């Protein structure tokens, strides 16, 4: 059987990029996670003087990130299933070209399909300041899931912070709506003590109560399952805990905060008790913030997260 690893390794362009970049190494999920589930997927490891990271080609998904002298800032489920076309639980999945259930057809896969597709590494550079820049692309032709042509590009700039810039281009002759999110799973040492600052006084749709509109009082904490979508949030956010994390952005108007609480027992690739190790604080554009892309139009946005020494 011609595996995903063999298929990717046969790419001349990828071989040349890796050979020219001594900070990159092509590995497999079984190399990095010997006890992991699934048939295996190709990954790329980034190692510079400033940081280390692990990225899956499937979904162009950042799975791990830590600075040389800092703590890991992302969480990857111990029950993550590394199988082709199966969503990877943890890191920063790209939910695209829709977020959550499809508004027109709930039978379509939740969070779109970009996270289940193999993206192409088109370039990698070690910048003058020591940052590693990697550029991934995806081309999607009209299909049964999404009737429009589009392309997407994700630029990762990894240094003392992780910056992810997403660009979506409408390559179709018709306009379309596109909702999306960078679905970040951030590691926490104590779910009981962690809180998210920057959302007090903001309205949100409570996804646990059929998107009932509510008002956030104080910081967000996690005594039970939380699933909230905040529209129109321009300010930066902070995760206060261990580690402390600052999240900044450009053109990401929506915020999603999620942890399944005890419901993790019913989610096979999380599992009972593993919800204690993370919270999701995501940025994107959904609900009333959804992008409308005219034919030929490109829209871009970025988020950046980094460890903060102060709460």
Query: Which domain CATH number covers 81?
Result: 2.70.98.10
Q: Which residues make Cβ contacts (< 8 Å) with residue 8, sequence separation at least 6?
A: 14, 26, 42, 57, 118
Q: Say what the pTM is.
A: 0.96
In a domain, 302, yes or no: no
Active site residues: 183, 282
Report residue 75 CA to chain centroid gap. 11
What pLDDT score does 191 carry? 98
Residues of the chain with pLDDT under 70: 1-10, 310-311
What pLDDT score does 201 carry? 98
Token pair of 90 as six digits: 């943890």
In a domain, 103, yes or no: yes
Q: Which domain covers residue 243, as residue numbers?
A: 4-297
What pLDDT score does 4 carry? 62
In a domain, 309, yes or no: no
Q: How far apart are the C-alpha atoms of 259 and 261, rounded to whole Å?
A: 6
In a domain, 136, yes or no: yes
Cis peptide before 145 (omega within 30 of 0): no
Identify each DSSP E strand in 198-277 by its residue range: 203-206, 212-215, 226-230, 237-240, 244-250, 254-259
What pLDDT score does 256 carry? 98
What pLDDT score does 1 carry? 35
Dihedral through CA 109, CA 186, CA 275, CA 93, nearest 10? 10
Count of domains forming the chain? 1
The closest of 191, 136, 129, 138 to 161, measured between CA atoms, is 129
In a domain, 310, yes or no: no
What pLDDT score does 2 carry? 43
pLDDT digits (tens, 9 = 90+) for 161-192: 999 999 999 999 999 999 999 999 999 999 99
């Amino acid at each position: 059987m011609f595996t995903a690893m063999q298929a990717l390794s046969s790419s001349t362009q990828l071989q040349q990029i890796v050979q020219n970049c001594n900070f990159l190494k092509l590995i497999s999920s079984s190399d990095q996670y010997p006890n992991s589930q699934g048939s295996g997927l190709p990954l790329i490891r980034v190692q510079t003087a400033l940081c280390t990271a692990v990225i899956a080609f499937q979904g162009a998904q950042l799975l791990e990130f830590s600075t040389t002298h800092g703590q890991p800032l992302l969480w990857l489920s111990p029950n993550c299933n590394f199988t082709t076309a199966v969503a990877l639980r943890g890191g920063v999945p790209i939910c695209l070209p829709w977020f959550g259930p499809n508004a027109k057809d709930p039978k379509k896969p939740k969070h779109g399909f970009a996270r289940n597709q193999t993206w192409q590494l088109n370039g990698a550079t070690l910048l003058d300041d020591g940052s590693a820049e990697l550029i991934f692309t995806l081309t999607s032709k009209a299909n049964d899931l999404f009737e429009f042509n589009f392309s997407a590009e994700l630029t990762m700039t990894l240094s003392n912070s992780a910056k992810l810039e997403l660009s979506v281009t409408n390559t179709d002759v018709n306009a379309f709506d596109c909702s999306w999110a960078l679905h970040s799973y951030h590691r926490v040492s104590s779910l009981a003590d962690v809180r998210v600052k920057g959302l007090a006084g903001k309205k949100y749709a409570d996804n646990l109560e059929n998107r009932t509109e509510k008002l956030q009082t104080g910081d967000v904490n996690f005594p039970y399952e939380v699933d909230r979508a905040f529209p129109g949030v321009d300010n930066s956010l902070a995760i206060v805990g261990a580690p402390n994390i600052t999240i900044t952005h450009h053109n990401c108007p929506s915020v999603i905060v999620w942890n399944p609480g005890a419901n993790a027992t019913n989610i096979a690739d999380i599992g009972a008790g593993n919800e204690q190790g993370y919270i999701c604080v995501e940025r994107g554009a959904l609900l009333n913030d959804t992008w409308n892309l005219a034919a030929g139009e490109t829209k871009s946005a970025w988020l950046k997260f980094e460890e903060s020494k102060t709460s």
